[in-house]
């Protein structure tokens, strides 16, 4: 206790001392790039002028081969095939780079790759978490929404509005409810009776995540006390949470237009009329089982929760309604469902009734696509209360950035989304632009991408960050245009080797000044996808429900379970989907070595690849060169070629082993 008081006092002093407003909360600066002659790219002008201040300069440009591999991995998440390399190197160099960028940005693989960054941020997973970790059969529609948003280059404000408030938007675009799946991405425990606390955790967690994702501010500290380092009060936290307070989880909605719904209902009425008698018979048969299960389900909850459940819907407030929802879910999901232990004779009757019902299936309309989503409660919204203080708070914005006068009377999530996606919000564009930059360079201009607060790092190039944010808005919030700006720069295209590296490293050991490119490992998905490209097994299918690990689709589509942390992808630092992750770790572990050199998965890919290679009946020399070229995107050096030939000769032509070694090699696993 003493310690807590101590810390609080200390922090009061800290915040007094740093009372002037924090850089990230100040409006964006309208600077123009320093005018350095001979440089076309404004990015380069900013970066080079910083370098020149230190008497430094850029590294030379990387080779075209290197750049092609780098841009493929950066934009579509996998290296080019040899045909793609030849196309590029053989093309008229004039404008070839720009054309290549445009082609990759139009490639559907682009959205599949960039979606991962966003899915990590929103802690996307295909499962519930907790213990049962049940598969969520419909949440993939949210994943596909994200993929499509990148591929369509949907302006960022729309993306923000649809995810935070898709249910509140006008029109009947089915994507809106899919996007509002954002509100369902947290974890859920299927057999929790303490649903009041469960729901409290859910609301807090979505508040934390929203602060991380959209504002790049860790607000979670302020849940228990005013933030110790940043100007976020506990009240700010609960104002933010209040936007989410009246949410009701919905599993009864579909991603369809009003027309589609109407057509469906018409047909459904026909089926219902034809099957009325059978359905009534079934209902009578199941009635005692349902009653029994309802009773046993509801009885397990604390009495106040039971009261919520028994209250008529139009008398409930939003919290009571959500409590009732959580009770009702356990009717089906917990303890084996209502029909467990059915009497033998009833089971037989039920089976035959179901058969008769099935004879009418031709009348039944095709089901509309179900979505996992949420909407605001249509009735009294329960208040948000700061615990222990019993202070009620209305929805509102972070007080250090905005006053709440702009909020309007609606105070809905849509107003939150509009405030976030306002070009004048000093955090939103800086945070997003920085996230994109991070994916290109391995590190953001602000290296703590989800912490723009005082505990985070300051921007290495603040003027460049603000300039990019302005350009981003000026270009209609287009992320693709942002890629073009970055990719056309020398800064991006420079080599990982610099003739003055020895000297520069002493002066700028963290390479913050961007005097050369960084060597980076492929992501978990990149490792798996690249192997499947080489082995020729990768299926060219986009979107749809998740698949099992052994299906050769892109890793994006492999079902992600929150409790399974020991898969191939996790060994290479894929996120577990539990917390918003702005940047993955890049670890090097013996587990990786073991799974790569001994595990079945990589061995099988090596076999498939070597079979494919040997389809061409060529000389050993040719095969060795070809395999190395395919794996590394460059021809082998004489020394490498010689070692490879010796290996092939002494191992009596074990092509699988050779391919396996190449899949393990750093040249394959890293880009430079």
Partner 1 sequence: MVFNRREFLQTSGAGFGSVALQWMLHQESQGSPHPLVHHAAKAKQVIFLFMEGGPSHLDLLDRKPLLEKLSGQSLPPSFKEPITAMGEKGAALLAAPRTWKRHGQSGLWASEWMPHIATCMDDIAVLKSCWTNGINHAGGVCQMNTCINFAGRPSLGSWVNYGLGTANENLPSFVVLCDNKGRPVNGSRNWGSGFMPATHQGVRIRGGEGEPIADLDPPAECPEDRQRAKLALLQKFNYLHASTFPQKSELEARIRSYELAFRMQAEAPEAVDLADESEATKALYGMDHRDTEAFGRNCLLARRLVERGVRFVELYSGTGSKWDSHTGIETNHSRLCRSMDKPVAGLLKDLKRRGLLEETLVVWGGEFGRTPMSEKGDGRDHNPTGFSMWMAGGGVKGGQAIGATDELGLYAVKDRMHVHDIHASILWLLGLDNMALTYDHKGRPERPTINEGDFNRKLIGA
Which residues 528-567 are close enough to bind partner 1 by CB under 8 A?
562-566
Rg of the chain over Cα atoms, rounded to whole angstroms, equals 28
Pick the closer one to partner 1 by CB: 57 or 192: 192
Pick the closer one to partner 1 by CB: 312 or 509: 509
Q: How far is the CB of 631 from partner 1 (least distance, A)?
A: 10
With CA atoms as reference, report the closest residue to 190 among 371, 334, 372: 334
Asked if 587 touches partner 1 (CB under 8 A), the answer is yes
Q: Which position among 421, 571, 613, 623 is part of the footprint of partner 1 (CB under 8 A)?
A: 571
- Annotate each residue in 105-144 with x if it binds partner 1 (CB under 8 A) or - if it does not, as one string: ------------------------xxxxx-----------
Number of chain positions touching partner 1 (CB under 8 A) = 93
Q: How far is the CB of 481 from partner 1 (least distance, A)?
A: 29
Give the CA count within 13 Å in the CB-facing half-sphere of 616: 11
Q: How far apart are CA 462 and CA 471, in angstroms?
A: 14
Asked if 459 touches partner 1 (CB under 8 A), the answer is no
Q: How far is the CB of 599 from partner 1 (least distance, A)?
A: 4
- The DSSP result for 210-273, as a single string, is HHHHHH----GGGGTSS-SSSS--HHHHHHHHHHHTTEEEESS-BS--HHHHHHHHHHHHHHHH
Which region, judged by CB under 8 A, interacts with partner 1, from 183-191, 264-272, 418-426, 551-559? 183-191
Asked if 448 touches partner 1 (CB under 8 A), the answer is yes
Pick the closer one to partner 1 by CB: 103 or 501: 501
Per CB under 8 A, contacts with partner 1 among 332-391 are none
Partners of residue 397 on adjacent β-strands: none
Please give the structure tokens belonging to residue 190. Answer: 């299927």
Asked if 598 touches partner 1 (CB under 8 A), the answer is yes
CA distances from 441 to 229, 233, 342, 416, 437 (A): 28, 34, 61, 31, 6
CB 579: neighbour CB atoms within 10 A? 13
297 and 330 in contact (C-beta within 8 Å)?
yes
Q: Which position among 30, 92, 585, 619 is part of the footprint of partner 1 (CB under 8 A)?
A: 585
Per CB under 8 A, contacts with partner 1 among 218-257 are 218, 220-221, 229-230
Q: Is the dihedral of CA 209, 213, 215, 216 positive or negative?
A: positive
Pick the closer one to partner 1 by CB: 93 or 302: 302
Q: Which position among 106, 152, 194, 315 is part of the footprint of partner 1 (CB under 8 A)?
A: 194
Pick the closer one to partner 1 by CB: 204 or 257: 204
- The DSSP result for 81-127, as a single string, is PHHHHHHHHHS-STTHHHHHHHHHHHSHHHHHHHHHHHHHHTT--SB
- Annotate each residue in 287-326 with x if it binds partner 1 (CB under 8 A) or - if it does not, as one string: ------------xxxxx-----------------------
248 and 325 in contact (C-beta within 8 Å)?
yes
| End-to-end Cα spacing for the chain | 52
Asked if 268 touches partner 1 (CB under 8 A), the answer is no
With CA atoms as reference, report the closest residue to 243 among 100, 128, 374: 374
- The DSSP result for 573-623, as a single string, is T---SSS--SS------HHHHHHHHT-HHHHHHHHHHHHHHHTS---HHHH
Q: Which position among 593, 620, 621, 649 is part of the footprint of partner 1 (CB under 8 A)?
A: 593
Which region, judged by CB under 8 A, interacts with partner 1, from 45-53, 110-118, 152-160, 641-649? 641-649
Q: How far is the CB of 412 from partner 1 (least distance, A)?
A: 28
Q: How far is the CB of 336 from partner 1 (least distance, A)?
A: 15
Pick the closer one to partner 1 by CB: 375 or 447: 447
Per CB under 8 A, contacts with partner 1 among 2-61 are 3
Residue with tokens 């469960």: 198
Asked if 474 touches partner 1 (CB under 8 A), the answer is no
Per CB under 8 A, contacts with partner 1 among 476-515 are 496-497, 501, 505, 509-511
Q: Which position among 261, 364, 570, 611 is part of the footprint of partner 1 (CB under 8 A)?
A: 570
Q: Is the dihedral of CA 48, 477, 164, 389 positive or negative?
A: positive
Asked if 185 touches partner 1 (CB under 8 A), the answer is no
Pick the closer one to partner 1 by CB: 172 or 334: 334
Q: How far is the CB of 456 from partner 1 (least distance, A)?
A: 5
Q: How far apart are CA 452 and CA 439, in angstroms?
A: 17
Q: How far is the CB of 563 from partner 1 (least distance, A)?
A: 4
Which region, judged by CB under 8 A, interacts with partner 1, from 85-93, 236-244, 384-392, 594-602? 594-602
419 and 425 in contact (C-beta within 8 Å)?
yes
595 and 602 in contact (C-beta within 8 Å)?
yes
Partners of residue 254 on adjacent β-strands: 370
Helix, strand, coil percent values for the chain (each to nearest 5): 55, 5, 40
Q: Which position among 478, 489, 592, 610 is part of the footprint of partner 1 (CB under 8 A)?
A: 592
504 and 51 in contact (C-beta within 8 Å)?
no
Which region, judged by CB under 8 A, interacts with partner 1, from 21-29, 77-85, 313-321, 652-660? 652-660
Residue with tokens 């708070």: 393
Pick the closer one to partner 1 by CB: 131 or 359: 131
């Amino acid at each position: 206790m003493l310690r807590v008081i101590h810390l609080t006092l200390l922090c009061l002093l800290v915040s007094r001392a740093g009372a002037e407003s924090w850089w990230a909360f100040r409006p964006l600066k309208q600077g123009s790039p320093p005018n350095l002659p001979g440089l076309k790219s404004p990015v380069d002008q900013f970066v080079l002028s910083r370098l020149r201040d230190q008497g430094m300069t850029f590294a030379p440009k990387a080779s075209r081969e290197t750049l092609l591999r780098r841009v493929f991995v950066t934009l579509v998440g996998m290296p080019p095939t040899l045909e793609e390399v030849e196309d590029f190197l053989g093309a008229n160099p004039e404008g070839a780079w720009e054309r290549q960028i445009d082609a990759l940005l139009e490639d559907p693989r682009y959205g599949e790759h960039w979606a991962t960054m966003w899915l990590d941020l929103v802690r996307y997973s295909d499962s519930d978490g907790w213990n049962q970790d049940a598969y969520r059969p419909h949440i993939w529609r949210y994943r596909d929404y994200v993929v499509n948003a990148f591929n369509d280059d949907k302006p960022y404000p729309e993306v923000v509005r649809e995810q935070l408030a898709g249910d509140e938007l006008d029109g009947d675009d089915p994507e809106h409810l899919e996007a509002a799946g954002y509100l369902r991405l947290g974890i859920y425990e299927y057999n929790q009776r303490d649903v009041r606390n469960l729901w409290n955790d859910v609301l807090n967690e979505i508040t934390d995540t929203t602060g991380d994702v959209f504002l790049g501010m860790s607000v979670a500290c302020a849940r228990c006390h005013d933030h110790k380092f940043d100007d976020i009060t506990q009240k700010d936290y609960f104002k933010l949470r209040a936007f989410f307070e009246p949410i009701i989880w919905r599993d009864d909605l579909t991603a369809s237009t009003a027309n589609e719904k109407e057509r469906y209902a018409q047909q459904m009425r026909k089926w219902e009329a034809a099957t009325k008698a059978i359905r009534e018979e079934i209902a009578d048969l199941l009635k005692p089982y349902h009653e029994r299960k309802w009773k046993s389900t509801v009885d397990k909850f604390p009495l106040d929760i039971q009261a919520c459940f028994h209250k008529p819907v139009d008398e409930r407030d939003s919290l009571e309604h959500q409590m009732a929802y959580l009770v009702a879910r356990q009717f089906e999901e917990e303890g084996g469902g209502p029909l467990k232990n059915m009497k033998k004779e009833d089971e037989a009757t039920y089976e035959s009734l179901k058969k008769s019902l099935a004879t009418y299936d031709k009348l039944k309309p095709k089901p509309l696509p179900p979505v996992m989503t949420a909407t605001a409660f249509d009735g009294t919204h329960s208040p948000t209360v700061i615990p222990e203080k019993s202070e009620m708070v209305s929805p509102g914005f972070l007080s250090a950035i905005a006053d709440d006068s702009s909020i309007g009377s609606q105070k809905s999530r849509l107003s939150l989304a509009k405030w976030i996606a306002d070009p004048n919000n000093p955090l939103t564009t800086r945070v997003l632009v920085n996230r994109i930059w991070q994916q290109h360079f391995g590190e953001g201009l602000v290296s703590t991408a989800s912490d723009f607060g005082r505990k985070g790092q300051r921007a290495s190039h603040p003027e460049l960050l603000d300039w990019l944010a302005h350009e981003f808005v000026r270009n209609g919030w287009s992320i693709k245009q942002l890629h073009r700006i970055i990719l056309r720069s020398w800064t991006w295209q420079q080599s990982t080797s610099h003739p003055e590296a020895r000297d520069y490293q002493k002066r700028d050991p963290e390479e913050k000044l961007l005097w050369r490119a960084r060597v980076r490992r492929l992501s978990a998905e990149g490792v798996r996808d690249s192997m499947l490209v080489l082995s020729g097994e990768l299926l060219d299918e986009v979107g749809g429900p998740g698949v099992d690990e052994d299906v050769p689709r892109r890793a994006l589509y492999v079902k992600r379970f929150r409790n399974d942390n020991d898969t191939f992808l996790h060994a290479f630092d894929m996120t577990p989907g539990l917390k918003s992750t702005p940047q993955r770790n890049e670890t090097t572990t013996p587990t990786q070595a073991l799974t790569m050199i001994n595990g079945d998965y990589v061995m099988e890919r090596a076999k498939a690849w070597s079979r494919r290679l040997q389809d061409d009946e060529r000389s050993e020399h040719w095969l060795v060169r070809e395999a190395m070229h395919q794996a590394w995107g460059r021809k082998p050096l004489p020394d490498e070629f010689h070692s490879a030939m010796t290996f092939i000769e002494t191992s009596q032509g074990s092509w699988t082993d050779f391919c396996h070694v190449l899949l393990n090699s750093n040249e394959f696993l890293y880009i430079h």
